[in-house]
A and B are shown apart, each in its own frame.
Chain A
């Protein structure tokens, strides 16, 4: 138990005379020069030459924990700089178990709302703050087609195809145009509300559901095949059937797509009626193990009443969540806009964020899946409903800056800077 009267000790304090030497670059641009071989073969010799004990060197990590004096560290740094080996040095810290503390403000969820210039969904996923637009990323939306003449998409890179017999790719329903709007529509509009997460992405609109809103494996799989032929990085599928059984064709399709660097994202399903005690279940194809399933959140970041819960068994989990209640986006002309709800709306939010992350990191397939989960904002909601949490866009790329100087006085050496290496 924590005594509220007693001040909490700091979580970590530096250990006098102990330092951690990290042989790596502080920035994301990894040097090919400094591979695993150098950590194994070159670094130990350099450490020994400076009189350091190798007991505290972990070659697989490229990290050495050492007893050191400032002069010794300065010499090591100079030697590494001369060899072109990036490194930095930080004080070793002593850690202790974090006390359990309750922050009365922590449970108060923020409430998002549409503004005249931005939807609440874009605000929640931090799309507007992101410097990325999905430029160079190809997003396939397999749905009811697209109103390619929609004025908000003038000048955009759009490829369309219909997999429905007797229907062209025009969206005679509205659902597809809405989903494409959320994933790839404009983020800013002159005098109007921006609603698209990745406005720089190339759009591949595959019509796999007819104007009546229904479709079958034949068209959906043909749409996935088409997206793979075009090397789309992301496939967004706001469709599903309320069946518990994993449908085998989508297991193979999801796996083969990932192997080719394409991430398939699908709606978890709208079969829950939580207010009536029914949490529902993730249907096909989102319940396939290699397809990312997206649950829906409302503007308080609570689980939407209709949003399906994780189904027991491999693949049946909700993997991530996105805004899915009261979502404003594009609709076929002349209506132009519509506001609707569903895990169908959460899915293109995730697909759009995936495009931004893909642009920012270069990650594809499984790595992109991991990045979405890693960067998601954790929510105080059951993991069976929101899993990794709310999808979050990457922060704007920051200019390369050296690591901040430690608060401790730097050991004396002849460098005018701190004792951090700048490799």
Chain B
């Protein structure tokens, strides 16, 4: 239980932002604007045209409104079975 009396921190989500084709040459510029819009940047994938970062759950719409952004989706996790498993 949180007994500190403070409001809980807003939940942070990792987002994958895909940049529009027309902005592929200006990914750094879009990343800068995303940062201004509240994205804490983890990785800028300049060749692929994607930016990975985290922001508050509620910040998604604001990120999607940034010029040059094609899509903003929450990061997904992937996995394989443990090494002892015969099925991989």
Q: Which residues of A contact B (CB under 8 A)?
A: 144, 173-175, 178, 209, 213-218, 220-222, 224-225, 228-229, 238-241, 243, 247-249, 252-253, 256-257, 270, 284, 306, 340-342, 344-345
Contacts and interface: CB of A to CB of B under 8 A. Distances in A.
Nearest to B74: A217
A221 B86 CA distance: 27
Nearest to B52: A218
B79 A340 contact: no
Given A340-B86, A344-B80, A217 B52 contact: yes
Interface of B: 14, 16, 18, 24, 42-43, 45-50, 52, 70-71, 73, 75-83, 85-88
B64 to A, nearest CB: 12
B81 A215 contact: no
A137 to B, nearest CB: 19
B45 A222 contact: yes
A167 to B, nearest CB: 15
A216 B78 CA distance: 6
A215 B78 contact: yes
Contact of A225 (B42, B48, B73, B87): B48
A218 B88 contact: no
A256 B49 contact: yes
B87 A218 contact: no
A230 B73 CA distance: 27
A402 B38 CA distance: 68
Given A243-B76, A247-B76, A216 B14 contact: yes
A228 B75 contact: no
Contacts of A209: 78-80
A221 B79 CA distance: 15
A344 B47 contact: no
A251 to B, nearest CB: 8
Nearest to B75: A217
Contact of B80 (A144, A224, A256): A144
B48 A178 contact: no
Given A217-B52, A252-B49, A253-B48, A222 B43 contact: yes
B73 A249 contact: yes
A249 B16 contact: yes
Given A218-B16, A252-B49, 4 more contacts: A215-B78, A247-B73, A270-B87, A284-B76
Contacts of B16: 217-218, 221, 249
Nearest to B53: A218
Contacts of B42: 218
Contacts of B50: 221, 225, 249, 252-253
Contacts of A221: 16, 43, 45, 48, 50, 52
Contact of A342 (B14, B77, B87): B87
Nearest to A237: B78
Contacts of A344: 80, 88
27 contacts: A174-B83, A209-B80, A213-B82, A214-B77, A216-B77, A217-B16, A220-B78, A221-B43, A221-B45, A221-B52, A224-B45, A225-B45, A225-B50, A228-B47, A229-B47, A238-B80, A239-B80, A240-B78, A241-B78, A241-B79, A248-B71, A252-B18, A252-B49, A252-B71, A270-B87, A340-B85, A341-B88
